[in-house]
Chain A
Amino acid sequence: MELSFNRETMTEALQRIVGAAEKRLTMPILGNVRLRPDEHGAIRMDTTDLELAWQAGAEGTIPGECDVTVSVRKLLDVVKAAPADSEIRARVEGERMTVGFGGSRFSLATLPGADFPDWEARGSEVVLDVPQNRLRRLLEATMFSMAQQDVRYYLQGLLLVASGTSLRAVATDGHRLALAEVELESPVEGRVERIVPRKAVAELRRNLADDESSLRIGFGEDQVVFELGNAVLRSKVIEGRFPDYERVIPSDLPATLRVDRELLKRALGRVAIVASDKYRGVRMVLGENGCQVMTHNADREEAQETIEAEYDGGPLEIGFNLGYLADVLNVLETEQVRIGLRDGNSSILIQAEPPGGARYVVMPMRL
């Protein structure tokens, strides 16, 4: 059986789908890509780690009876090694696949395609279209707040909520929360909520283009499907109830701090030098003189920085995890940020100034 394909299109497709292949091989075939013809005779490729699955297509010739799997990482490295824009030929014989271009020959081990774990594609209850760059911004604005290795498995993912003309993303690790929305062009019927696992979110983010090209999201009962042009990402969803996030977003906050985003970010970066590396706490003192940030560590070293800021509340002292503040300041894009506060023990609300768009809730630390 002979296959042929172009180096460029194949590299692009393989790079897309390589992320689903397992690195720790519990089943050797999960490190492989399945190659077979699609309904138009082009090459269809599949990878999966059993939690998520990629499917991509590439132009080329492939015999109708071909159904074979080969290590996706090795195939990608081999294809990338070929000269630019070259035509690559591959021959499947017995349990070997020989890939060749110019004077090079690679003989790769294969496993039969029939052994590749198949994913049942199920119908989606709600389908919506969203431009890729807007979804990308939505993910970037929220995904950093997802929990890592938390026993509350349902926090290790991003909650997507579609209702009316809005698609909302919420992430929280129990100490901080990020919420952002995009406007949809056409309204969806009903309301649907699904928790998308961390890895799928990262895979999706990695593959979103920074342009207006459209992406279709299908919400099924136990899976979500993202269709991007000629590639499809399917992921299982996390079962479980996401905490009541609306309850923890503070409202009617009596005090507001308006501060230059870059200024605050740099000040935090400087005082971080002596922050205790264990819990990275920063103390913020607010009053008539504006805003002071200070840190200290176990060796009694200290750093202090006064920032010009506009503050309309009474004197207040509050502590934070430096990382939580820095993460938010990194993803906001406006020149100024607005921080709403109540007292030293209550959560704060960080937003762009003027407000609108993403909302960030951060719980203070015990100092």
Chain B
Amino acid sequence: MLIPHPLLGLRDAQEFTYLGDAALLNRPDGMAEGAAEAFNDYVYLRDNPAGVHRELWFHEQGDRSWLIVTRNTVTHEILGAELARDVALAAKGGAQ
């Protein structure tokens, strides 16, 4: 497979390490009310779609960026890749 790295272009998937569902970015606040419940869902409940999936890949033999790769798990078609850091920052309201 080839992963379209947003900064480096197409790179062979062998350079990457796979983690899984990009929903991991939405880590609950451990100090908040109901944290136990929230963490149970966060740690154990994952979607495993046959189809388009957003997932985390680490460019280990590369620039050490975590990427969010949008991939169709049925066809292996890759629809895009973003720097996870950018996505996480945007989700936090663009805070820097």
- A, B co-complexed: no
Q: Write the residues of chain A forming the contact surface with B, with a CB cutoff of 8 angstroms.
A: none
Q: Write the residues of chain B forming the contact surface with A, with a CB cutoff of 8 angstroms.
A: none
